[in-house]
Amino acid sequence: MRDFTEIQEDRIIYRNDSFFVIEDSFPVSPGHLLIISNIVRKDYFELTEHEKIVLTSTIEIAKTLIEKKYSPQGYNIGMNCGESAGQTVFHFHCHLIPRYTGDMENPRGGIRHCIKGKGYY
């Protein structure tokens, strides 16, 4: 997949002037959502200032959508920017990943675990 422009409308659970929200096709936890820019931007750093502002409120709305169905105890918010950071679809998307007590033996360090051995401090 090169971008998210061919997402079926019936998959979209929320849309505003800058972003739309879908359930992740390969969720890492129940309720995992993607927030995707309406206009193809490569990554977070290509968003306009307006889009960056709207992103914050869109994350809050996506959190509310998750909490209508699930009861997570925490969240990871993630954006991969660049191939070296693991980005495979070069159309801005933000992962909102609900976290649940006990979903990992030791969640300390959270996203710091993206580099082996760096999550523990």
> What is the set of active-site residues?
93
Phi–psi pair at 85, nearest 5 degrees: -95, 5
Contacts of residues 15-18 at CB distance under 8 Å and 24 or more positions apart, as own/partner, are 16/54, 16/58, 16/61, 17/54, 18/50, 18/51, 18/54, 18/55, 18/58
Q: Work out the number of other CB atoms within 10 angstroms of the CB of residue 51.
A: 19
